[in-house]
């Protein structure tokens, strides 16, 4: 029986992130596919040279592959010598965030500007996430007036410290509390909140403004 460790899970995560097969990672790292599979499936961390080759093959850093810096904010490494900031078109922004994942919801709460992370997905052109009925976000995103909705910001980013690149997408739109008679349709999005708990209220954000930036080298 195998017992996958943190190192193996991180290999699998980065391989999946890049859309690579075991053979492709093995070819990049100059090792056998069987050995890459072994490292993914077993509780074992190889020698430093192997970790270096895997980190390069998976386009990440040795520190990240070994689990270092998990409790620090990203982006503390040096930036590019000659960075280029590119404005992204709305279609490219949507392409980047379509896979879903973790985003941030920004709105005016009772104590001032508030930003909260949510697990989201895109469903029929709208952003969908879940929250608790009667919870702070449920209350803060209600106006109390029929047909009047609160406009919020929704942001997603990706920072690649190993490549010193990244992108950020901002979507602005009204937060719509999905009524019970529409819940079954929206539930097809299969979005699951990382925070767990009884989060059965679906909130849908239909994009009204979309903007984004990408930073890369020359």
Query: Roughly how many angstroms between the first and final C-alpha of the chain, as a whole number?
Result: 48
Do the domain assignments include residue 73? no
Q: Are residues 89 and 59 in the same domain?
A: no
Write the CA distances from 148 to 77, 112, 177, 180, 201, integer angstroms.
44, 20, 11, 18, 18
Q: Are residues 26 and 126 in the same domain?
A: no
**At residue 53, does pLDDT exceed 90?**
yes
The tokens of 133 are what?
């009925």
Domains in the chain, number: 2
**At residue 64, does pLDDT exceed 70?**
yes
Q: Are residues 58 and 89 in the same domain?
A: no
pLDDT given at position 2: 42
pLDDT given at position 171: 97
The answer to whether 197 and 138 are in contact (CB under 8 A) is no
Do the domain assignments include residue 70? no
**At residue 160, does pLDDT exceed 80?**
no
Q: Kindly report the backbone phi and psi dihedral angles of residue 143, in degrees, each rounded to the nearest multiple of 5, phi listed first.
A: -90, -25
Q: Are residues 49 and 123 in the same domain?
A: no
| pLDDT tens digits for range 134-154 | 888 888 888 777 777 889 999
What is the overall mean pLDDT for the chain?
86
Q: Are residues 104 and 194 in the same domain?
A: yes
- Report the C-alpha gap between 119 and 13 in whole angstroms: 17
| pLDDT tens digits for range 12-22 | 989 998 899 99
Q: Are residues 143 and 184 in the same domain?
A: yes
Q: Which residues pair with 104 in a beta bridge?
A: 117, 155
Q: Are residues 18 and 60 in the same domain?
A: yes
Do the domain assignments include residue 40? yes
Other beta carbons within 10 angstroms of residue 47's beta carbon come to: 7
Q: What is the mean pLDDT of residues 153-165?
A: 83
**At residue 174, does pLDDT exceed 50?**
yes
Q: Are residues 100 and 61 in the same domain?
A: no
Do the domain assignments include residue 95? yes
Do the domain assignments include residue 11? yes
Residue 173 per-residue DSSP state: E
The answer to whether 166 and 215 are in contact (CB under 8 A) is yes
Place of tokens 């990049």: 28
Q: Are residues 162 and 96 in the same domain?
A: yes
Higher-pLDDT residue of 13, 27 = 27
Q: At 94, which CATH number?
A: 2.30.110.10
Do the domain assignments include residue 75? no
pLDDT given at position 59: 87
| pLDDT tens digits for range 87-138 | 999 999 999 999 899 999 999 888 889 999 999 999 888 999 998 888 888 8
Q: What is the mean pLDDT of residues 43-72?
A: 84
Q: What is the pTM of this model?
A: 0.70
Q: What is the mean pLDDT of residues 83-90?
A: 92
Extract the runs of DSSP E, i.e. beta strands, from 16-142.
84-88, 101-109, 112-123, 126-131
Do the domain assignments include residue 71? no
Q: At 18, which CATH number?
A: 1.10.260.40
Do the domain assignments include residue 122? yes
The answer to whether 189 and 128 are in contact (CB under 8 A) is yes
How many CA atoms does the CB half-sphere of 103 hold within 13 Å?
A: 29
Q: Are residues 106 and 54 in the same domain?
A: no
Residue 178 per-residue DSSP state: P
Q: Which residue range is the domain that position 24 belongs to?
A: 6-65
Q: Are residues 19 and 112 in the same domain?
A: no
Q: Are residues 100 and 200 in the same domain?
A: yes
The answer to whether 178 and 141 are in contact (CB under 8 A) is no
Secondary structure of residue 72 in the 3-state scheme:
coil
């Amino acid at each position: 029986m195998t017992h996958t460790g943190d190192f193996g899970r991180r290999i699998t995560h980065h391989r999946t992130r890049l859309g690579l097969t075991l053979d492709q990672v093995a070819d990049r790292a100059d090792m056998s596919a069987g050995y890459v599979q072994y490292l993914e499936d077993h509780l074992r961390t190889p020698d430093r040279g192997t970790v270096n080759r895997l980190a390069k093959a998976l386009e990440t850093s040795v520190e990240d592959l070994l689990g270092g810096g998990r409790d620090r904010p990203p982006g503390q490494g040096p930036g590019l010598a000659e960075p280029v900031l590119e404005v992204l078109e709305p279609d490219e922004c949507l392409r980047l965030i379509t896979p879903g994942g973790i985003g941030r919801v920004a709105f005016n709460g009772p104590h001032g500007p508030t930003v909260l992370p949510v697990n989201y997905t895109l469903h029929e052109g709208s952003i969908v996430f879940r929250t608790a009925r009667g919870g702070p976000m449920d209350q803060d995103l209600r106006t109390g007036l029929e047909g009047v909705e609160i406009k919020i910001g929704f942001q997603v980013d990706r920072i690649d410290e190993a490549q010193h690149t990244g992108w950020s997408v901002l979507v602005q739109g009204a937060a719509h509390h999905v009524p019970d008679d529409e819940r079954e349709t929206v539930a097809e999005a299969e979005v699951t909140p990382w925070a767990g708990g009884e989060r059965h209220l679906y909130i849908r954000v239909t994009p009204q403004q979309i903007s984004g930036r990408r930073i890369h080298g020359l």
